[in-house]
Each structure stands twice: as C-alpha cells, then as structure tokens.
Amino acid sequence: MALHIYNSYVRTKELFEPHTEGHVGMYVCGPTVSGESHLGHARPYITFDLVYRYLTAKNYKVRYVRNITDAGHFEEEGREAEDKVSKKAQIEKMEPMELVQKYTNLFHWAMKQFNCIEPSIEPTATGHIVEQIGMIEDIISKGYAYEVNGSVYFDVKKYATTHDYGKLSGRVIDELLDANNRAEVSRALDGQQEKRDTADFALWKAAPPEHIMRWKSPWGEGFPGWHIECSAMATKYLGAQFDIHGGGMDLLFPHHESEIAQSTICNHTAPVKYWMHNNMITINGRKMGKSYNNVIKLTELFSGNHPLLAQAFHPMTVRFFILQSHYRSTLDFSSEALTASEKALKRLWDAHVILQKMPVTPDAVAQDVELDSKINHWLSEFEVFMDDDFSTPKVIANMFEMAPIINAMKDGLIASNAISSYTLQLMKDKFVLFLEQIFGLQDISNNSNSILTPVMELLLEIRKEAKASKDFATSDKIRNQLTAMGIVIKDEKDGNTSWGLA
C-alpha cells in the first residue's frame, strides 16, 4: 500500500508521488504572532507534525517550511486600534518587533509542549521583504498587477481569463467579480475603492503616516499584502513546484487561492501538487476563532484557568485528543471530551509501558495461533490506515484492541507464550514507532524524581511488611495518605506494588 493523500485541489484522495523521488517539500502556514496561540491553532501544527513524522518514517527526506507571520497590519490582542498607531502609545507600549518576539517565543514554547518537531526552515515575513518586493515587481512586469496610490493590487479579472481562479476554494469567478453589486458582501475595506475590481487583492499596501510597521519599496513606504509572503518564501525555499502545502480550511479562500495565482504568474507553473487542509476545532458546534470570541488559549488549557475547563490538561492529552479524530473532520471541544481523552491515553500508555517491559523469549512459537494472527493483522493495519490519508483514529482503535491483551498477558490471564516471540517483538517495535515516533506522544507521568524514588521504595517496603503481618491499619494509612498527596499505588498480581503520580 502506498500513501494516499486527500488533495483539496481536486477534492479526492490521490496517490502521493513527490516531485523528486525520495524528497518532499512541505509548506505549512504558520502563526500570526500578534497574539497568543489557542487550541484551534494547535490542530494544524499537530496535524502537520504528524504528516512530517510519517513521511520521515517512510524514509522521505522532508524539507518542512513553516512561516512566522510577523508583518502586516495587525494589533496586539486586547488593545485599542487607535492606541497602536498613536505616537504616545508607541512610547508606552512595545516595539512592534518586541511584540512579535514575545508571541513567537510563546508559540515555540507551546510547540515544544506538544512535542512538535521544529520545521526545517521557519522563515519570517519581515525577514523576506526583499523577496516579496521582488515577486511583486515580477508580477507587475508580467502585467498582472497595478499600482494605485502607493499600493499594488493583483489583477484577478485578467488572471481569471487564462487561469482557473477559484478552483481550489470552489469559488465562482463571476460572482467574485460581481461582488461589488451585492450589498451584503461589499464592506468598508480599506482601499476598496481604488481597486479595479473588488475581487483584486493587495500585494503591497501603502502605509499611512501613523502606521508603525513600514518598509521602503518602489511604490513608497508600506507593508506587504496578506498573501505574498507565503508565495515568496515557499518559492525561495521549496522552489517553483513543491509537494505539500498545508493549513487550516479557513485559509482556502482567499489566502491559498491568491497564493496559487501569485506563484503561477511568477513561476509559470502551479506551485503545489497536494493541498492539505485540516478542519476546525469547534465549541458547541461553532468554530473556535477570534471572531467568535470563544477561544481557549493554550496557556489556559495547560493551567485549567478558563470557565469552560473543569481541570488542567496536559499537552499530550490535547495532542492525543486531536489524533483521535481525523484531521479533515471538525472536532468538538468540551472539557468532558478532553477528560475522556486523558483517561484513554493513560490506559493506552500504561499498556505500552507494560508491553515494552515484557521479556521476549527467543524462538517461541505461538500457542494461540488465532490470537497471534489477529495481533499481526492489527499491526499490519497501522500502515494501511496511515497510508489512507493519515487515519490516526483507526490506528488508535487497533491499539486499543491490543491493550486488554497486553494487560491480560501481564496478569497471567493470557499465557505469555500465547503469541510468538516474533509477534511480541513486532508489537513492541510498532508501538514504539507509531505511538512515540509517528504520533509523537510522550510519557505523561512524571516519575523521574530522583529523591522520590528511593523514598517510595522505603514506604512500599514498610507497607509490604505491615500487610504481611495483617496490619492493615498501617498499610491503608500509607496508601490513603499517599493518595491524598497525589501518589497512586497499585498492588499488582505478582505481589509487587507500583506507584505513579496521579
């Protein structure tokens, strides 16, 4: 089975064939660092981290580019717009780059919490003003952009005569061009009246005098338009044609549609072979987003400090929660759903740890052939499911099929020789590969405290002695007090006692 990816551009699953054999170029739209990341942002980064990890596991050499949008017309969260541009505000508050640095750092921190691998290149928009200006000049020289009052706009109407503008997002070009005739759509957008057509989009915006983020350009001082940075940086680092472009579904239009148009004019070829779009995380069925005022910031999620949260959630719980649904489905958030994921992950991870500790007897033959073959079947499906457009929920379901078997083997309810040594070893290897390396999950417990370990050994030794002499008052006291402190102990079937932080 070979990897198939759902390509938004053709709305169907396609066999994945990279442009250059063995190599993959992947571009993912990164964060706009004018504010703190929220749960909704976590989804694309975790989704494409998974894609990156899986492609790597399939021995592709992947160049993963994810940008930082740190330029443009944006405001810091929670501040008045006019504040931002007033001179006094400039002195009192942060430098634009200071603000951008703050949220970039916070974003990187969150990605680390989620165990997302850093991209190969993380270019910033402000670091590529030169490339963006160059690209805009190129588009003008080719006759697909025009300058008005220091701003430059892309000529969508002209582009649409020879290209399929709107194909990616399913837009009908005539409707876009007619948009100015319809009251509902025409909004008080800045500079709308200077465009030749409302469907045209900005490549470069002239900066009003009070605007603090500004760069010199052939058209005067200003800042780049909203889509050109991705075209410029993707072209620079991945070439005129690359394999995968990822991002949220809400970026389909106009962002990605415009990206295609810009790059196509400059490079004489469509830039991307496979467009991948993750769906949204919702709350009560409604998209989590700034506009809806229903966001849960990642810092709030990890601390539990939000009215909608019954408790704090570990980043791995969130990661697992996201992997439990398919990336193209909406995922409805609730505190209860996350709690369910937390318990599920703990159960699965416990089984994983138990599995990895199991000794493999060399050359053991399966005594239960049926069980042995079932396990082999489940394991072989891991790749099949992943190759089918990254069906992580199905892989997880198969893992849960094996969890009771692993636990039963540990407790002696299933004989340890029921499955062959080959199968046991394979199961160990696949769990490590998929759970840790591809899903990027990590141990959620925190038992690595060096002083606590010998102390616990001592306590458990005392408790064991108390139990041996039927002094249950003492043994229960130890257990109950530890439970109250957040340390859970379990008497195992083999007479030993395990412990862990709750």
Residue ranges in 282-311 that form contacts with RNA under rule CB under 7 A: 282, 285-292
What's the min distance (Å) between Cβ of 278 and RNA? 6
Query: Which span sits near RNA by CB under 7 A: 127-135, 409-417, 422-430, 435-443?
Result: 409-417
> What whole-number distance in Å separates Cα of residue 80 and Cα of residue 67?
27
Token output for 415:
């004989």
Binding mask 226-265 for RNA (x = CB under 7 A): x--------------------xxxxxxxxx----------
Q: Which long-range contacts (C-beta less than 8 Å, at least 24 apart) are formed by 142-148?
A: 142/265, 142/266, 144/265, 145/203, 146/196, 147/219, 148/191, 148/194, 148/195
Give the H or E element holding residue 6: strand 4-7
329 φ, ψ to 5°?
A: -100, 150
> What whole-number distance in Å separates Cα of residue 56 and Cα of residue 109?
23
Pairing of strands 281-283, 331-333: parallel
Find the largest Cα–Cα distance for the chain. 92
Among 162, 311, 329, 380, binds RNA (CB under 7 A): 329
Q: Which of residues 88-107 bind RNA (CB under 7 A)?
A: none
What's the min distance (Å) between Cβ of 61 and RNA? 26
What's the min distance (Å) between Cβ of 24 and RNA? 20
Query: Which span sits near RNA by CB under 7 A: 80-88, 304-312, 365-373, 391-399?
Result: 391-399
CA 222 to chain centre: 32
Among 19, 58, 163, 171, binds RNA (CB under 7 A): 171
What's the min distance (Å) between Cβ of 484 and RNA? 13
CB burial string 121-155: b at 16+ within 10 A, e below = ebbbbbebbebbbebbbebbeeebbbbeebbbbbb
Among 403, 418, 460, 482, binds RNA (CB under 7 A): 403
Query: Which span sits near RNA by CB under 7 A: 96-104, 113-121, 154-162, 394-402?
Result: 394-402
> What whole-number distance in Å separates Cα of residue 221 and Cα of residue 61?
40
The 3-state secondary structure of 268-296 reads CCCCEEEEEEECCEEECCEECCHHHCCCC
Other CB atoms within a 10 A radius of the CB of residue 439 amount to: 24
What's the min distance (Å) between Cβ of 335 and RNA? 10
337 binds RNA (CB under 7 A): yes
Binding mask 413-452 for RNA (x = CB under 7 A): x---------------------------------------
Give the H or E element holding residue 104: helix 96-113
What's the min distance (Å) between Cβ of 308 and RNA? 14
What's the min distance (Å) between Cβ of 291 and RNA? 4
What's the min distance (Å) between Cβ of 353 and RNA? 11
Query: Which span sits near RNA by CB under 7 A: 55-63, 140-148, 446-454, 488-496?
Result: 488-496
Query: Which span sits near RNA by CB under 7 A: 60-68, 306-314, 410-418, 454-462?
Result: 410-418
> What whole-number distance in Å separates Cα of residue 371 and Cα of residue 226?
56
Comparison of 187 and 268: residue with beta carbon closer to RNA: 187
With beta carbons less than 8 A apart as the criterion, state whether 111 and 165 touch.
no
- Residues that bind RNA (rule: CB under 7 A) add up to a total of 87
Binding mask 338-357 for RNA (x = CB under 7 A): -xxx-xx--x--x-------
> What whole-number distance in Å separates Cα of residue 4 and Cα of residue 356?
31
Q: Which of residues 18-77 bind RNA (CB under 7 A)?
A: 29, 31-32, 40-41, 43-44, 69, 74
Comparison of 83 and 250: residue with beta carbon closer to RNA: 250
Comparison of 89 and 177: residue with beta carbon closer to RNA: 177
Query: Which span sits near RNA by CB under 7 A: 124-132, 319-327, 441-449, 450-458?
Result: 319-327
Q: Which of residues 111-170 bind RNA (CB under 7 A)?
A: 169-170
What's the min distance (Å) between Cβ of 293 and RNA? 11
> What whole-number distance in Å separates Cα of residue 262 and Cα of residue 168?
14
Cβ-in-10-Å burial (0-12, 13-18, 19+) of 40 comes to buried
Comparison of 119 and 254: residue with beta carbon closer to RNA: 254
Comparison of 282 and 423: residue with beta carbon closer to RNA: 282
3-state secondary structure of 412: coil
Task: Report the length, in residues, of the chain.
Answer: 502
Query: What sign results for the dihedral spanned by CA atoms 116, 118, 120, 125?
Result: positive
Binding mask 175-214 for RNA (x = CB under 7 A): xx--x--x-xx-x-x--------x----------------
Query: Which span sits near RNA by CB under 7 A: 84-92, 214-222, 265-273, 485-493?
Result: 485-493
What's the min distance (Å) between Cβ of 17 and RNA? 21
What's the min distance (Å) between Cβ of 51 and RNA? 14
> What whole-number distance in Å separates Cα of residue 412 and Cα of residue 150?
77
Query: Which span sits near RNA by CB under 7 A: 14-22, 78-86, 304-312, 332-340?
Result: 332-340
69 φ, ψ to 5°?
A: -85, 105
